[in-house]
Amino acid sequence: METRKTQVAVPVLLAIMTLMVSRVVFAGKDSLHERHMAELQAVKASLVRRNLPGFVSPPPTPPQAVPGPRVYQVISYGADPTGKADSTNAILKAMEDAFDGPNHGVLMEGINDLGGARIDLQGGSYLISKPLRFPSAGAGNLLISGGTLRASDDFPVDKYLIELNDESSKLQYIFEYITLRDLLIDCNYRGGAIAVINSLRTSIDNCYITRFGDTNGILVQKGHETYIRNSFLGQHITAGGDKGERNFSGTAVNLVGNDNAITDTVVFSAAIGVMISGQANLLSGVHCYNKATGFGGTGIYLKLPGLTQNRIVNSYLDYTGIVAEDPVQLQISGTFFLGDAFILLKSINGVVRGVNIVDNMFSGSDNGVQIVQLDQTNKAFENVDQVVVDRNNVNGMATRSTVAKASVAGNGTSWTVDFNQVLLFPNLIKHVQYTLVARDGNAFPIHAVRNVSDNRVVVQTNAPVTAQVYVTVDQ
């Protein structure tokens, strides 16, 4: 209030002083008109000065307080970024505070939206002696990122460094939209790295997972839509040709659930690269050179006899192959198989249906290894339907297909075309098309397919003729 009075009083005082001066100046003059004009100019000047910015400005309105970002920095909780001291409890406390943070709504029923809260590892390397878990189920929309976790020498061998799990929860899904990003997880050959149990829309992005024990690097069990991308997994740190490759063990990724995806990910050492026992999963851009087939390794193992419903596309199987048990609805396409890597269809109950193995590349060492093989040790494949193995290009390996073309020339009454070197399934030809071209322009023989068995087609004529027979078959 005092400031405002000062602002008003100063211009008024200046105007009065100006009027007084003007009266003195014109006191000795006789012209009343000139005196009035001077007084008007003085008043005008005072009004102009009054409209100029005051030399005392009003104070600005204080800014309203804005809540800070929900970033929980683990070092402030006492975590040791050098990895010398155990940081487990400090990081657990940060996870607890994030879990108890402001609720921005509800995702799936019973899951609180934490508003994109972040647990920041601040680029440190932290020693972990027991699994990092949230206090209970019911958290969503949260990120853990930016550091290294290393298992201690006494870390439990049957646990995982990060566990999204709550055995006591009755919720349909335990967690939703949890992101694990930019992490290096060193399991110290003790347990596994990450377990995602009955969770929804989980992302594992740009992670390096290594030195897991004879267990899983990543376990996904139940739930839906866990996406693993841009990541690297290996039990041992190597770039191939490792002297200890025969002894690699464990499984890099174990998908025991539906609707998940692994994209642009490398598995560089493990007995099994990816194990799948759930439907509707997608693998794209996956490079497996984990353990060579010749040493007993498997790149991708589909353990879903009777209902597979998985897709493997645009991937790279490097000296290690694919095994599928009783596959039903399986797509393998656009994939490169190097170093005699092949696809094995393994019979459990003798069923193989709706399988497409098409448009792949196979490269081998000219040892006659078949690109697609059958394991009928348990039982022969008896229920075979809608299986297409075709349009694969092959170099240095033996082609196998469910569609084949061949021709034979000769003079006589019988022509036999043998497809055993090409067809995948033994003694199985479902469809035959043929053409007989007589070389003698005057000949017009009667001809017919007389026998189809043991993957051979026999065409006969009623009279001797010189002819070429073209046959197409599929299984």
Going by C-alpha positions, the residue among 375, 368, 343 that lies closest to residue 357 is 343
- Residue 7 — pLDDT band, cuts 50, 70, 90? very low
Cβ neighbours of 185 (radius 10 Å)? 26
pTM of the model: 0.84
Please state, in angstroms and rounded to a whole number, the distance separating the CA atoms of residues 219 and 73.
27
Which helix (H) or strand (E) element contains residue 446?
none
The confidence score (pLDDT) of residue 120 equals 98
Q: Comparing 65-74, 81-90, 154-163, 340-349, which segment has the lowest mean pLDDT?
A: 65-74
Tokens of 141: 């929309």
Contact 217, 249 (CB under 8 A): no
Using alpha carbons only, what angle is made at residue 373 by residues 370 and 375, rounded to the nearest 5 degrees?
A: 145
- The dotted CATH code for 71-240+247-395 is 2.160.20.10
- For range 171-194, the mean pLDDT: 97
DSSP 132: B
Contact 297, 274 (CB under 8 A): no
Burial 269-278 (b: 16+ CB within 10 A, else e): bbbbbbbbbb
What's the pLDDT tens digit per position in 255-269? Answer: 999 999 999 999 999
- For range 271-283, the mean pLDDT: 97
Q: Comparing 15-19, 60-64, 307-311, 468-472, which segment has the lowest mean pLDDT?
A: 15-19
Q: Comparing 30-39, 137-146, 350-359, which segment has the lowest mean pLDDT?
A: 30-39
pLDDT at 66 over 80: no
What's the pLDDT tens digit per position in 24-53? Answer: 444 444 455 566 566 656 555 554 444 544
Contact 262, 274 (CB under 8 A): yes
Which amino acid would we find at residue 203?
A: S
The confidence score (pLDDT) of residue 24 equals 40
DSSP 247: G
Please state, in angstroms and rounded to a whole number, the distance separating the CA atoms of residues 419 and 434.
14
- Residue 154 — pLDDT band, cuts 50, 70, 90? very high
Which amino acid would we find at residue 223?
A: G
The confidence score (pLDDT) of residue 41 equals 63
Tokens of 394: 């092959």
CA distances, 157 to each of 135, 214, 349 (Å): 22, 9, 35
Mean pLDDT of the chain: 89
pLDDT at 89 over 70: yes
Going by C-alpha positions, the residue among 172, 76, 171, 69 that lies closest to residue 117 is 69
Domain ranges of the chain: 71-240+247-395, 403-474
Terminal-residue alpha carbon distance, the chain: 98
pLDDT at 360 over 80: yes
